[in-house]
Amino acid sequence: MKRPLYLLLPVVAVALALWAFWPRALPVEIAEVVRAPLSVTFSEEGRTRLRQRYRITAPIDGFLQRIELEPGDPVSAGAVVAVVAPSTARLLDPATQITGQAQVRAAEQTLAAAQASLSAARAENTRRKLALARLEALAAQRLISKADLDLARADATAGVAAEQAAQARVEEARALRDGARAALQAQGARQDPKSSRRVLVRAPAAGRVVSRNVESEGPVQAGQALFEIGDPTELEVEVEILSADAVRIAVGTPVQLLRWGGEAALQGRVRVVEPGAFTKISALGVEEQRVKAIIDFDTAPASHQGLGDGYRVEARFQVWHRDAVLQVPIAALFRDGEHWSVYAIEDGRARLRHLKLGRFGEHAAELREGLAEGAQVVLYPGDNVREGSRVARDALAR
């Protein structure tokens, strides 16, 4: 016997009300606890600079003749880069002569000290190379760790750099001595109005003209900057980092150089962490203690062709790295009292789980206790997610 339709209407209404008010699963973004490589890094802005920079100055007061060299032009060691005609406006008096002789003696002593430093740097470089050879032999027998071998290689590289720097100081001191001698000779020539020998200014090393400080001929004073010369293929990177980060790095720390204009990241290593800090005011007006770190390129010059002196780069320092680390996304973490916590998904419901974490990377944190590999967690948990809430993967989430 058929029931009247009006008797079914209450049943349908109740069913619709139950369906409308029945709690639905919250759409959430989901990620898994995985075992993958993890790196701890921090980034700072840096600037490229020439490894060796030579500033060429006027050796005497006089008249600078027209300079033909332009920025970018190559120069060879010992080449004449400028010519200065001595000034005849004043005569050489005894006090000036004594001063000039003292400057020559001081320049000669500076050269002798630089040569002694070069000898010491060569000896130290030889010692580091021999130490590296011994450690490489031990490493071949697996008697030392890879970290010790890497440190020895970094020391050997630093030894080569130190010898090159010492050689550059010798060349610079020799150029200063020659300039002081030329200045004394030119000043002595002023006593004879017929004598006006020109002073030839020579390049202390091979390279390219980086900048030109004097645009046209005219009078110059002794010590006035004329050029800066350097080798643009021999670059390094200077980065000012927070002192709290400086204690986390050391010689040999790997560095990625990003956003320099090329497609691929460049690889480098820390060569020097300067021991002294300085105060710098941040863009927000906060006083910060910063330390300079100098980075050498690990890649060949051809890989960063186009970089020049003073170019901006982003330096990412790798403080710690492991190839297989159990990790949880940082986007899933939140604080619950004193604990780091996540909402794990179990049987379609959100379950609060307290975790024990280790190191923090850029996007994930090392998971030591609390969840197993493959566990699913809620990303970006909002206030609507609670213990026991029904959840489901958001179909619109990427």
Residue 23 predicted with pLDDT over 80: no
Answer whether residue 12 is part of any domain.
Answer: no
- Domain limit, last residue, from 299, 321, 343: 321
Answer whether residue 297 is part of any domain.
Answer: yes
Q: Give the per-residue pLDDT at 194.
A: 40
Domain co-membership, 165 together with 212: no
Answer whether residue 28 is part of any domain.
Answer: yes
Residue 195 predicted with pLDDT over 50: no
State the CATH number of the domain containing residue 310.
Answer: 2.40.30.170
Q: pLDDT-derived band of residue 11, with 50, 70 and 90 as boundaries?
A: low
pLDDT digits (tens, 9 = 90+) for 337-390: 999 999 999 998 999 999 999 999 999 999 999 999 999 999 999 888 889 889
Q: How many structural domains comprise the chain?
A: 4
Helices then strands, each counted (H, E), the chain: 4, 21
Cα-trace Rg, the chain: 34
Residue 267 predicted with pLDDT over 70: yes
Q: Give the per-residue pLDDT at 326.
A: 97
pLDDT digits (tens, 9 = 90+) for 180-194: 787 777 665 544 434
Residue 163 predicted with pLDDT over 60: yes
Domain co-membership, 246 together with 307: yes
Answer whether residue 256 is part of any domain.
Answer: yes
Answer whether residue 14 is part of any domain.
Answer: no
- Domain limit, last residue, from 230, 252, 273: 230
Q: Give the per-residue pLDDT at 25.
A: 76
Domain co-membership, 119 together with 100: yes
Alpha helices in the chain (DSSP H): 5-21, 94-140, 146-189, 243-246
State the CATH number of the domain containing residue 62.
Answer: 2.40.50.100
Cα-based distances in Å from 302 to 160, 231, 296, 370: 21, 14, 15, 48
Answer whether residue 5 is part of any domain.
Answer: no
What residues make up the domain containing 343? Answer: 24-39+323-393
Domain co-membership, 273 together with 217: no
Domain co-membership, 244 together with 114: no
Residue 40 predicted with pLDDT over 80: yes
Domain co-membership, 111 together with 175: yes
| pTM metric for this prediction | 0.63
Q: pLDDT-derived band of residue 155, with 50, 70 and 90 as boundaries?
A: confident
Residue 173 predicted with pLDDT over 60: yes
